[in-house]
Amino acid sequence: MLTRIDHIGIACFDLDKTVDFYRATYGFEVFHSEVNEEQGVREAMLKINETSDGGASYLQLLEPTREDSAVGKWLAKNGEGVHHIAFGTEDVDGDAADIREKGVRVLYDEPRTGSMGSRITFLHPKDCHGVLTELVTSRADH
């Protein structure tokens, strides 16, 4: 069962400059940053608030580390902006299977490792009214 909006992913050309904008404009601070080599991105998670299920809601700023990454290709085509929305779930495997049974394409056969050690998968945007959608099970200590 989906429990919250976990994060909104925003693709950017310059992560540091984009972090500075969100800090100066809204007062958001970086909660976590990392490089995800598998996905070819450098990212910063800006915590917005805590949620009733023990999770949190974030903005995820994504800068590609290589042009052939999914985010790099997306930026080349679309420019900076909202890349995806992610919903939190206690069971990414079960929810992905349930959603797949409803005819929505799930992009990974098995969930992958996402930010802060989470388990993630994506749903095809053509099956979600043009929105790339991510399902996230957070690591227990985040």
- Output the six-digit token pair for 33: 């940053």
DSSP H helical segments within the chain, as ranges? 15-26, 70-78, 92-101
Residue tagged active-site, from 29, 32, 43, 67: 43
- Cβ-based neighbours of 83, under 8 Å, separated by 6 or more: 9, 10, 11, 62, 71, 74, 132
Q: HSE-up of 75 (CA within 13 Å, CB side)?
A: 22
**101 flagged as catalytic:** no
Spatial contact of 15 and 43, defined as CB atoms under 8 Å apart: yes
Q: What letter represents residue 55's amino acid?
A: G
Where do we find the tokens 């009214």?
Answer: 129
Distance between CA atoms of 90 and 111, rounded to whole angstroms?
A: 13
**43 flagged as catalytic:** yes
Residue tagged active-site, from 39, 60, 63, 83: 60
Residue tagged active-site, from 39, 63, 83, 84: 84
**90 flagged as catalytic:** no
Q: Active-site residue numbers? A: 7, 43, 60, 84, 134
